[in-house]
Homo-oligomer: A and B are copies of this chain.
Amino acid sequence: AERSADQPGRAVVDFPVAAVLPAGGSGERMGLTTPKQFCSIFNRPLISYTIQAFERLPWIVMVVVVVAKDNHDLMLNIVRKFNHTKVKVVHGGTTRHRSIYNGLQAFSDSTDSSTPKPKVVIIHDAVRPFVEEDLLLKITLAAKEQGASGAIRPLVSTVIATTSESYLDHSLERAKYRASEMPQGFLYDIIFQAYQRCSEFDLEFGTECLHLALQYCGTNARLIEGPPTLWKVTYKRDLAAAEAIIKETLSVSACIIAEAEEEAVELAKTLQKNLNMMETDVIPCGKESNVQYLSKTRNFIHISASASSSLWVLEMVKCFEDIDHARLYPVVIVWVQLSMTKQSADSQETDEFMALASEVKQRNVLLYGIKIDHSKELEQWQRSLERLGQITLVLIRDRNMALTGQMLHV
């Protein structure tokens, strides 16, 4: 039942699959700081990224998010703001296991027709946003076949047994052991039964769902090696790591739009060469209404070679709104202004650009400007071109919210 590379999940998974995301129990153990699942990257809480990783898959029918009662409204706002359509929010218990059990119970309530019982349920952490369809499919199919399945990773450190007085007792042979990670998949009937049968002690102190399925239903989980991106966002530094991964994903491609002037077209081609670490296309200005084109990337470099109106910015942003292109991730527009005569922006121009950037930022579009003078000696022109490439790349990769509306010089 392994899928081949070109089979979409929908064709393979012909049974209902749902997900349960425990997201925070009572939240009290975290102390005063915001639980990581509610920390934001680009003004969007981590949990929304995780939800999206499931929601985008047509074969996932429902995502049950289990949150502490105190975070119920916060969670509903997130669902609304980021237009999550498959989510049901459920209240958590005082421990991780109780929360998962609550989540599973949402499907057993026969009076609620919005949550029919799934064949397979995937349990996943809200703070592991980078789970791929490939792994979710493997987990799902193995769970269907075997009753239970779980992602594993090699151990990163040696595991040692300790004596009660903090001395080394022995070290484990690494090859025989694995770290148990998420996602895990189960036949719904099996994991629900396991939770019904397990003890209060399990619900209070247990950590491993796979263990419950084994102990209470005799179901041996199939273990599947997952990629390193499965790691759990735990510390503040993990948020920086997650942000870096998202930034990289958002920066693989760009669309360079050149206005009609010959110099603009030429500059576009040079810039394309200097941005060789990204996939870029150069298209003429005016095709901006080509929605299909604009939906292919979230990075746009607009090149104009004379004082030109900024009307295209608002048209473009309107276009993004029509296709809801900037809801989940910010879109970057870098406006490169090639001036043929050495002249600097006046104060009014600067203010207007900043006002425009403020306006489109409200629609999650990050607008930056770069001025480049043509009237320079060759060597200086080369340096300017090089700098143009570097700064364009940095603006796209960083997606810095505070620097929108700035007109940079190269």
Where the two chains meet, the residues of A that have a C-beta atom closer than 8 Å to any C-beta of B are: 148, 150, 152-153, 155-163, 166-168, 170-172, 174, 176-181, 207-208, 210-211, 214, 220-224, 228-229, 232, 234-238, 240-245, 342-347, 350, 354, 373, 390-391, 393-394, 398, 400, 402-403, 406-409
A151, chain B: closest CB distance, angstroms:
10
CA distance A343 to B228 in the complex (A): 53
Taking chain A's interface residues, is the majority helix, strand, or loop, or is none over half, making it mixed?
Answer: mixed
Residues in chain B near residue A242, CB distance under 8 A: 237
Residues of B within 8 A of A406 (CB): 406, 408-409
Q: A345 contacts which chain B residues (CB < 8 A)?
A: 344
Q: Are B347 and A208 in contact (CB under 8 A)?
A: no
- B contact residues around A177 at 8 Å (CB): 159-162, 172
A221–B161 Cα distance when bound, in Å, is: 12
Instruction: Report whether A400 and B402 are in contact in the complex, using a CB–CB cutoff of 8 Å.
Output: no
Q: CB within 8 A of A162: which of B162, B176, B238, B243?
A: B176
How far, in angstroms, from A150 to B373 measured CA to CA in the complex? 60
Of the residues B156, B166, B181, B344, contact of A346 by C-beta under 8 Å: B344
Cβ B409 vs Cβ A402 within 8 A = no
The chain B residue sitting closest to A405, CB to CB, is: B409
Closest 10 CB pairs of A and B: A240-B244, A237-B241, A157-B179, A394-B402, A241-B241, A158-B180, A168-B221, A158-B208, A171-B211, A171-B208
Inter-subunit contact B160/A178 (CB<8 Å)? yes
Q: Give the nearest-CB partner of A220 in chain B.
A: B167
- A342 contacts which chain B residues (CB < 8 A)? 347
A342 to B160, CA, bound (A): 68
B153 touching A157, Cβ below 8 Å: yes
On whether A223 and B166 interact (CB within 8 A), knowing A243-B240, A344-B347, A409-B354, the answer reads yes
Besides the contacts A153-B157, A168-B214, A393-B402, what 6 more A-B pairs have beta carbons closer than 8 Å?
A157-B180, A158-B211, A159-B180, A168-B221, A344-B346, A347-B373
Q: Please name 9 pairs of A and B residues whose Cβ atoms are closer than 8 Å in the assembled complex, sorted by A.
A: A148-B168, A168-B210, A171-B210, A172-B177, A228-B234, A240-B244, A240-B245, A241-B244, A406-B406
Residue of B159, B166, B167, B373 touching A159 (CB-CB under 8 A): B159
Q: Which residues of B contact A224 (CB under 8 A)?
A: 166
Most buried by B among A157, A158, A342, A347: A157
A403 to B125, alpha carbons, bound, how many Å?
38
Q: Are B159 and A176 in contact (CB under 8 A)?
A: no
CA distance A176 to B160 in the complex (A): 9
Residues of B within 8 A of A228 (CB): 234-235
Let me know if A223 and B157 touch, CB within 8 A: no
Given contacts A158-B179, A167-B220, A167-B221, contact A394 B390 (CB under 8 A): no
B152–A160 touching, CB < 8 Å: yes
Which of chain B's residues has its CB closest to A210's CB? B168
- The reply to whether A162 and B152 form a contact with Cβ atoms under 8 Å apart is yes
Contacts of A172 in B (CB 8 A): 159, 177
A211 to chain B: which residues have CB within 8 Å?
A: 158, 168, 170-171
Q: Assess the A237–B244 pair: CB atoms within 8 A.
A: yes
Q: Complex Cα distance A59/B166, Å?
A: 26
A241 to B239, CA, bound (A): 8
- In the complex formed, the residue of B with least CB distance to A235 is B228
Give bound CA distance, A136 to B250, whole Å: 40
| Chain B proximity of A125: nearest CB distance (Å) | 11
Question: With A152-B160, A390-B402 known to touch, is A409 a contact of B350 (CB < 8 Å)?
Answer: yes
